[in-house]
């Protein structure tokens, strides 16, 4: 009897241990869990959700955390530190934080620091959130909407982000202290006085795909940190970054679509199939030192459409091998591409300053291409400049070549982002390519052009736009939902190409098919 009692006692103790372990030990299996503005439970079920803060300590690899509708206040509203309490996901089991209804989960900060902070973390996804900061005169050291420190393999997708603290040098996304492989996909970025996405890490392999940036010229605030202009500096600022891919984005009403400042490795960044509308510059590159390590190298623009910039389409300063191939510049105030030596911080070292372009169209402007200050080794070939004051200006001993240039009326009609049928630019370029940009189809995450349309074949609307939030992203004339009106996509006398957006059909082979060899 004694031995039987002992055996049952051991069994009972094990049952109690396992039960308590199940309650108090960290979860081992991934799950779908819920948070709400009034959540206070620990089961995190749909009927008994947790508080938002629970994510920072309870999430495990493979989890999906559903954020219910409502306003989540606090600064930060969500803090993740994967070296202190939070967990990393894995490549095969990332951790996902997703709005239950797209953009109806609203994280609202007060500007006393970032609204969301992600530090020392990897393999997290944030989908469909709306996150906003606020002005706060008492906080001049921080206040970006999302702060990312020493983190990698993060995805921010289909969210709305706006209003950093203008009393500080803040941004919608502020990336610091290393890290790489962060992706921004199909977001809408509004109301920023400095940069929408500021990457100051020296890291690389960032992906910026199908986002819409409109600063709405968010004005500087008295006593605050000044912007470089009237508010809304750059959609994307690389301070620096390397091997990054920026594809199919639309930027509007900013100082610059993008800028690269080479305070370290700023090499091999690609910009494919982007549109800059009413920005001052459609691109800006410059060094931050007098040696080769502080110089921008091998920047590539392809299918880049810059429409009515009030400065230059691309301004390349003391940079090596900047190219714009199959690009369109419509009515730039100053010119399509300007390249010079920035004497304040001239770059140099073993590299030669150079700029180039092929199959590129310029309509209007004081200059087509302006090259100055001993830039050499570049070539501008097979371009068309129509209605341009000076097609090519080379001063200061530059050896950049200018060849196979024409000044033909491109007959674009109302079209701005693609070369229409019947234009003399159609097939007139090198290897039978068009002269000018065609921003009609998506590039994939490898930088390969696909046959996936960017635009609705009936309405012309941008296919990657997300849910509408009244009063936020449905403001006429400064939002994504109606940008097709300003770009004349399938309207205003510019129909999409015949057959655009059609689906392909794969036919099964007949069972009696015989292939003769």
Q: Do the beta carbons of residue 71 and residue 109 sit within 8 Å?
A: no
Q: What angle do CA 176, 179, 181 make, to 5 degrees?
A: 120
CB atoms within 10 A of CB 260: 30
Q: Are strands 449-453 and 441-443 parallel, antiparallel or unpaired?
A: antiparallel
User: From residue 91, how far is each of 57, 86, 124 by CA, in Å?
Assistant: 20, 17, 9
pLDDT tens digits in sequence order for the chain, 517 residues long: 344 433 333 333 333 333 333 333 457 789 999 999 999 989 999 999 999 999 999 999 999 999 999 999 988 899 999 999 999 999 999 999 999 999 999 999 999 999 999 999 999 999 999 999 999 999 988 899 999 999 999 999 999 999 999 999 999 999 998 778 999 999 999 999 999 999 987 789 999 999 999 999 999 999 999 999 878 999 999 998 999 999 999 999 999 999 998 877 899 999 999 999 999 999 999 888 777 888 899 999 999 999 999 999 999 988 889 999 999 999 999 999 998 877 555 566 556 778 999 999 999 999 999 988 666 678 999 999 999 999 999 887 778 889 999 999 999 999 999 999 999 999 999 999 999 999 999 999 999 999 999 999 999 999 999 999 999 999 999 999 999 999 999 999 999 999 998 743 333 333 333 323 2
Q: Do the beta carbons of residue 129 and residue 162 sit within 8 Å?
A: no
Q: What angle do CA 510, 513, 514 make, to 5 degrees?
A: 170
In 3-state terms, what secondary structure has residue 264? coil
CB atoms within 10 A of CB 318: 26
Respond yes or no on whether the N-terminal peptide bond of residue 240 is cis (omega within 30° of 0). Answer: yes
Q: Do the beta carbons of residue 208 and residue 236 sit within 8 Å?
A: yes
CATH classification for the domain delimited by 29-487, as one of 2.160.20, 2.60.460, 1.10.3470, 1.10.357: 2.160.20
What secondary structure letter does DSSP report for 458?
T
Task: Specify the pTM.
Answer: 0.91
Encode pLDDT of 289-308 as tens digits.
777 888 899 999 999 999 99
Backbone φ and ψ of 351, nearest 5°: -95, 155
Q: Where are the domains of the chain?
A: 29-487
Report the distance separating Cα 128 and Cα 101, nearest Å. 8
Encode pLDDT of 429-471 as tens digits.
999 999 999 999 999 999 999 999 999 999 999 999 999 999 9
3-state SS string for 127-171 = ECCEEECCCCCCCCCCCCCEEEECCEEEEEECCEEECCCCCCCCE
In 3-state terms, what secondary structure has residue 14? helix
Q: Radius of gyration (Cα) for the chain, nearest Å?
A: 26
Report the distance separating Cα 342 and Cα 365, nearest Å. 22
Burial of 424 (0-12, 13-18, 19+ CB in 10 A): middle
CB atoms within 10 A of CB 498: 7
Name which of 196, 207, 204 is nearest 179 in CA terms.
204
CB atoms within 10 A of CB 111: 26
Q: Do the beta carbons of residue 304 and residue 418 sit within 8 Å?
A: no
**Bridge partner residues of 320 (DSSP):** 297
Q: What angle do CA 232, 161, 129 make, to 5 degrees?
A: 170
Burial 133-165 (b: 16+ CB within 10 A, else e): bbbbeebeebbbbbbbbbbbbbbbbbbbbbbbb
């Amino acid at each position: 009897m004694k031995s039987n009692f002992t055996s049952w006692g051991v069994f009972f103790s094990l049952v109690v241990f396992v039960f308590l372990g199940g309650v108090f030990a960290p979860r081992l299996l991934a799950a779908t869990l819920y948070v709400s503005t009034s959540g206070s439970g620990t089961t995190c079920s749909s009927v008994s959700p947790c508080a938002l803060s629970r994510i920072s300590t309870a999430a495990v690899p493979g989890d999906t955390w559903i954020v219910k509708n409502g306003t989540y206040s606090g600064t930060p509203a969500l803090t993740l530190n994967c070296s202190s309490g939070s967990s990393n996901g894995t490549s095969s089991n990332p951790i996902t934080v997703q709005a239950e209804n797209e953009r109806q989960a609203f994280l609202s900060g007060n500007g006393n620091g970032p609204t969301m902070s992600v530090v020392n973390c990897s393999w997290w996804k944030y989908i469909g959130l709306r996150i906003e900061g606020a002005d706060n005169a008492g906080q001049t050291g921080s206040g970006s909407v999302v702060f990312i420190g020493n983190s990698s393999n993060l995805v921010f997708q289909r969210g709305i982000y706006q209003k950093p603290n203008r009393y500080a040098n803040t941004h919608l996304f502020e990336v610091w202290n290393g890290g790489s492989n962060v992706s921004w996909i199909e977001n809408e970025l509004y109301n920023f006085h400095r940069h929408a996405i500021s990457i100051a890490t020296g890291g690389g392999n960032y992906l910026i795909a199908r986002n819409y940036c409109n600063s709405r010229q968010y004005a500087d605030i008295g006593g605050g940190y000044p912007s470089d202009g009237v508010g809304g500096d750059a959609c994307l600022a690389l301070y620096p970054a390397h091997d990054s891919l920026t594809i199919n984005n639309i930027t509007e009403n900013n100082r610059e679509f993008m800028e690269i400042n080479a305070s370290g490795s700023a090499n091999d960044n690609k910009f494919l199939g982007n549109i800059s509308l009413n920005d001052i510059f459609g691109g800006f590159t410059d060094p931050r030192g007098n040696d080769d390590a502080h110089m921008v190298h091998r920047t590539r623009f392809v299918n880049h459409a810059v429409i009515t910039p009030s400065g230059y389409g691309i301004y390349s300063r003391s940079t090596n091998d900047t190219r714009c191939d199959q690009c369109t510049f419509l009515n730039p105030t100053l010119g399509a591409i300007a390249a010079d030596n920035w004497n304040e911080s001239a770059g140099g070292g073993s590299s030669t300053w150079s700029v180039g372009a092929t199959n590129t169209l310029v309509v209007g402007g004081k200059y087509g291409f302006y090259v100055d200050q001993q830039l050499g080794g570049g070539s501008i070939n097979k371009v068309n400049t129509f209605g341009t004051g000076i097609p090519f200006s080379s001063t200061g001993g530059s050896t950049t070549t200018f060849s196979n240039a024409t000044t033909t009326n491109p007959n674009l009609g109302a079209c701005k982002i693609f070369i229409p049928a019947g234009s003399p630019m159609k097939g007139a370029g090198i290897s039978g390519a068009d002269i000018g940009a065609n921003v009609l189809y998506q590039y994939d995450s490898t930088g390969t052009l696909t046959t996936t349309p960017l635009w609705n074949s009936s309405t012309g609307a941008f296919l990657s736009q997300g849910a509408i939030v009244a009063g936020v992203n449905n403001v006429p004339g400064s939002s994504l939902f109606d940008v097709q009106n300003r770009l004349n996509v399938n309207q205003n006398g510019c129909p999409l190409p015949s057959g655009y957006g059609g689906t392909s059909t794969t036919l099964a082979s007949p069972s009696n098919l015989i292939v003769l060899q």
